[in-house]
Chain A
Amino acid sequence: MYKYDKLDQQIVDERVTQYRDQTRRYLAGELSEEEFRPLRLQNGLYIQRHAPMLRIAVPYGMLSSKQLHKLGDIANKYDKDYGHFSTRQNLQLNWPKLEDVPEILAELATVEMHAIQTSGNCIRNITTDQFAGIAPDEVVDPRAMAEIMRQWSTFHPEFALLPRKFKIAVSGTKDDRAIVQAHDIGMEFYHDAAGKLAIKVWVGGGLGRTPILGSVIREHLEWQHALTYCEAIIRVYNLHGRRDNAYKARIKILVKALGIDEFKQQVEAEWLHLKDAPNTITETELIRVGQHFDAMPYEVLAAHDASFDSAISSNPAFAAWVKRCVHAHKTAGYRAVTLSLKPHGQAPGDATSAQMHIVADLAQLYSFGELRVSHEQNLILADVKLSDLFAVWEKARANGLATPNIGLLTDIICCPGGDFCSLANAKSIPIAEAIQMQFDNLDYLHDIGDIELNISGCMNACGHHHVGHIGILGVDKDGSEWYQVSIGGKQGNDASIGAVIGPSFSAEEMPQVVQKLIDVYVQERTPEERFIDTVRRLGLAPFKTNVYAKNEHAKNGATA
């Protein structure tokens, strides 16, 4: 993974000094609340319901063992001994003291980490596929470009105070795992007909209050122009995006108002001036950064391993875990492993300090000292030998990290919700926990098969509910918490936004609502169908009928 040189290190060190002084001035009353707000936000610090929340950047989801050990130490020293991995591949601490944040940043800087631009109206952490570099279906490893873009976007002076947040995702696979269409800018890298590295660019996607999938603004962009083309897009947005209404300030609203053709024409006109400007990426720079992502020193292994095969056939629990949590690798004899942060009945994405240390040790022992965070809020060991899988499983299982539910109903994507977040309308974690307990039978879960259930505590959609096969959104009605349910959302190349099934439910009803949706699926599915396929084939009606059947009955009973 990318390692800092002295220039990178100096920038994060200077950031610590700058933020330490900004915090000092705020505490001394020299900066008003309003003036300090964008400064702390651009350092990932929110003021939350109970305490501040600090979001630490994990650029494109890559972590080293050393970094994860440090995060475990920080969570122990400055927080309540745990952290929350977010849907933007970052790590959030829920209980740090505002006064301690400069010290936390100083500790992070010692392991080449920071919290720069993890919030605020600026270019945020750039995200990508958690299997970048090792996926068999990968066309281009997008991480070198993601790192080049991380550097370019860090303290970009022209885009320091945009109308609203700005999220970029990059992907290098045919089968998109980075939800590029749900980002302000999405980039898919590919090789063009001439064999050259090129980019397909989407713009104006986003979830939140107004979910919209992005539009293609350019089918083919030569890689050298990635930065200047982004500058053209963001300049048009910076000047013309709506600042008068925060709910209409995202680029998707501007793109929609102008229409993609007019927006594209303005961007292209701008780009005529920017094309070939100094921020054009050089071959040397791509090679330099690319070296940091060279293939690991893999051993030459056979495609099969006898000890692994015998463990599979003799140990059904191990076999179940392998089925859900172990993924293909482009190198023979290696696999990627997802360590589930979704044990049933616990907050999705949470990891204790002890778990962080254990995962860091596992990565050190079995996966070249590196790991990744997925946007589904799990941790990934990307390079594990087949012959080591059983040992990894035993250690992971002993530490609550081997729930074999990846891609299943209980692998829930979930924001921190009303327990922590001051924006939330409703709690989300207790809903996730209740659903996990409702489906706490692994055989049944496997029978239900591939399904994505996403929960957001408010329309800001941090839990990506719009693209969940089942999406749950917390809403506020007259001061009490209700849950709106949608089905048919999907991430990936054939992405879609889910449709709301009807009136919302109380928290207590939610496990049964999900149960009834699943019942319809189990009854109606063809042998090959996943939940999403059945929804797409049948539409909302049968699901809606079953979910609301009892309510109708109760209503009739009441009026009778």
Chain B
Amino acid sequence: MSNLIQLKNGVASLADNDWTCVQLPPSQAEERKQAGKVVLFKLTGEATVTAEQITGTIIPATGKIIVPLSVFITRKNEFISRINAGEVGVWLDTHEVLETLIENQADLNALPIIAIHVQRFADGRIFSLGTLLRTRYGYKNELRALGDVLRDQIFFLKRSGFTSFAIRADRSANEALASLKDFSHPYQGAVDVAQPIFSRYNRLA
């Protein structure tokens, strides 16, 4: 079971995952510490991927792949035909700068999938990144949340434009489905429901 929830026409259901998420090889860099504690969140724009990692990334020869942003930018030529065939997506971490993708891929909608990897569920940058992809950069295809994705955040992810949720492997995607329906009538306009409550309903009645 892939533990994937997918929204289709606004309806959520469990789905098979036919994308392979390409991983960077482990980095040799030491964990950053502050006051003796490991720093849990990386700074936005912090360079975290080395040239060795990019060249050392193993890209499967066939099948649909989601490649790391740094690999996508540096090694695009290797899989340009597969991009044209709609078999390549991109994933980025919450601390990576979204504009780097925009600068390197003029037509975002040539990508059938973009995924955002959240290392820790409490990293709310993922919501702004999803919102920007949808409202600023006009991205229309599948937007997936990857990583530490838990049911209590997916309502907000859905509202921020995400359409698929790879629930963390040790949790039930089936049970998580219920959380997408936590609230029936959200107050503020966001990606999924653009109009705020005062424009959707006549509240004077």
- Identify the A interface with B (CB < 8 A): 5, 7, 10-11, 14-15, 18, 22, 31, 35, 38-39, 121, 151-163, 227, 235, 238-240, 242-245, 273, 277-279, 281-282, 284-285, 288
Contact = CB atoms under 8 A, between A and B. Distances in A.
Interface string B184-201: 111111110011111101
B105 interface: no
Contacts, number: 123
B43 interface: yes
Which interface class (under 10, 10 to 19, 20 to 34, 35 or more) fits B?
35 or more
A240 B128 CA distance: 11
B204 A244 contact: no
A155 B127 contact: no
A104 B32 CA distance: 42
User: B-side binding surface: helix, strand, loop or mixed?
Assistant: loop
B183 A14 contact: yes
B84 to A, nearest CB: 31
Given A39-B152, A157-B156, A244-B39, A238 B124 contact: yes
B187 A18 contact: no
B185 A11 contact: yes
Contact of B196 (A152, A160, A242): A152
B80 interface: no
Nearest to B162: A157
B198 A161 contact: no
Contact of A278 (B179, B184, B196): B196
A160 B203 contact: no
A160 B197 contact: no
Interface string B31-59: 01010000111111000000000000000
B41 A244 contact: yes
Given A14-B184, A35-B150, A158-B160, A235 B39 contact: no
B189 A277 contact: yes
B190 A11 contact: no
B43 A11 contact: no
Nearest to B197: A7
A243 B32 CA distance: 13
B124 A282 contact: no
A157 B41 contact: no
Q: Considering the complex of A and B, which 10 residue pairs feature the smallest CB-CB distances, nearest first?
A: A161-B124, A157-B159, A243-B41, A278-B189, A285-B198, A157-B156, A151-B187, A160-B156, A158-B127, A244-B39
B123 interface: yes
B83 to A, nearest CB: 27
A267 B26 CA distance: 36
A539 B159 CA distance: 54
A239 B160 contact: no
A259 to B, nearest CB: 18
B153 A288 contact: no
Contacts of B85: none
6 contacts: A158-B160, A161-B122, A161-B124, A162-B124, A239-B125, A278-B199
Nearest to A237: B128
Contacts of B158: 157
Contacts of A282: 198-199
A281 B197 CA distance: 11
B159 to A, nearest CB: 3
Nearest to B34: A245
Contacts of B185: 7, 10-11
Given A14-B183, A160-B127, A239-B128, A244 B188 contact: no
